[in-house]
Amino acid sequence: MPSSSQSRSRPPVLVWFRDDQRLADNPALEHAVVTGHPVVCVYVHDPEPRETRLPGAAVRWWLHESLRELNAALAAMGGGLTVLRGPERQVVEEFATGIGAIEVCWNRRYSAAQRETDAAIKSALKQCGIAVSTFNGHLLREPWTVATRDAPPFQVFSAYWRAARREYSPEPPRPAPGRIDFFPVPEDATACVKDLSALALQPSAPDWAGGLRETWQCGEEAGQCQLQAFLADTLAGYASGRDNPAMHATSRLSPYLRFGNLSVRQVWYAARLSAAHAGHGPGNPRAAPMAGANLDKFLDELGWREFSYYLLYHFASLHQVNFRRQFDAMPWRADPEALRAWQRGETGYPLVDAGMRELWHTGWMHNRVRMVAASFLVKHLLIDWREGEVWFWGTLVDADEASNPASWQWVAGSGADAAPYFRIFNPVLQGQKFDPLGDYVRRWVPELARLPSASIHAPWLAQPAQLAAASVRLGHDYPLPLVSHQHARTRALEAMEGLRERAGRVTQKKIAR
């Protein structure tokens, strides 16, 4: 490895890490190393971003852990991560010019505000004589590369995904650089933070992150371990088991993809390779079809992530504005007490409450239960989907600007290719179907643990003797339902019918004109 004096004699290339906190399959980092110039690896923390949303509390916790792991990985190669604090537009330019960088490179982002910021930084750097190179390190297909025949963006997932897969022939993921020649950053460099703790990303008073620490290991190495465990133990039963929240039948890769501890190309290729091996297993003529079904179902989930970013790119303000604007007239209810009960997992519907408590403790919720819990807020309680989106934004370790609002709008019926509003999940039937033994509820709603499986998803229908034997006093140990399913369903359908009638009157007025 060249000495620090040799590295200092040549101008450096700056690699700006964002949601790509890994060394392997990182196009920006690979490009910087290939230039032959010494490299400076930076992360910029803007505590008061003007254009974008502040990250939620659970995301900040993961960010701290992920950056710590990234710094350790770089340190093992003889360098480290330089953390800068301040407005991105100002800090990147000042730091790059201050160290005499010849080039700055990064992997691209996709929200309107992020693209505007990146464009402004790119322009400012070029005016300073600093080259800029950008890459795709976050998606399988960048949004502008998947186009409809008639120009308007796709609004239906199946059509989008067919087009994206039909034209998709990516290069295999690349390994981490074998060595990196690091440029020594001056100790007094502009905006440098000496210690991650100075960013105040971790909770302290109170420290509510104990459940997150129990549940997750963060960073690139942990992401690879989780990926390999999923491929070895879970992918083979993914299609049939993924809807049962009591089973460990999902990948749990979403936070690693959110922060780029794993690249989606790494996951895509590893899953396809694993399924190919399983499909050629000896002695089982059904192996290939089963492997194919599991793989397709899993790749579809990656496709929904891609579609969410596609929507974010083409339709700004996804977390604020109804994709289907007729929902602007939806008569949402303001009910702070009901909202708080939902947030705390005290709705009286065990499957919903189990999911909300799992979320609070672990920063994650099983996907099937996410849909049921979200539907309950929007349709049973008739509370604006944006209230739920904000809560998930703050409590999910995998919350990102694309998937979180797109998924909420899908459940609410206001989004692209959304579930119809009249599709109203019955939380009791959902529990009986997908948690038939009640194991998931028992794990997260322990006050109901002694109820028999036949009663655990509707304890208000249990016999008094069953409740007494289980030491459950409804309304005291566990709440009665906030609202009856039938009443909530009728109210939601009436609200939707009123929305249709208003839309019809508007259409008639336009025709009359």
In terms of Cβ atoms closer than 10 Å to its own Cβ (0-12, 13-18, 19+), residue 76 is: exposed
Q: What angle do CA 123, 128, 132 make, to 5 degrees?
A: 50
How many Å apart are CA 135 and CA 100, to the nearest integer?
Answer: 22
Structure tokens of 75? 């340190």
For 432, phi then psi, to 5°, come to -65, -35
How many Å apart are CA 296 and CA 380, to the nearest integer?
Answer: 33
Residue 88's contacts (CB-CB under 8 Å, 6 or more residues apart) are: 44, 46, 49, 117, 121
Length of the chain: 513
Strand order in the sheet with 39-45: 131-135, 103-107, 13-17, 39-45, 81-85, 192-193
Answer whether the bond into residue 87 is a cis peptide, omega within 30°.
no
User: 198 by DSSP, 3-state: which?
Assistant: helix
Q: Which residue has the tokens 């290991």?
A: 217
Tell me which residues are annotated as active site: 301, 304, 332, 367, 385, 408
CB 77 within 8 A of CB 24: no
Which secondary structure element, helix H or strand E, spans residue 193, and what is its range? strand 192-193
CA distances from 402 to 142, 300, 307, 310, 380 (A): 13, 16, 9, 8, 25
Which secondary structure element, helix H or strand E, spans residue 274, and what is its range? helix 264-279
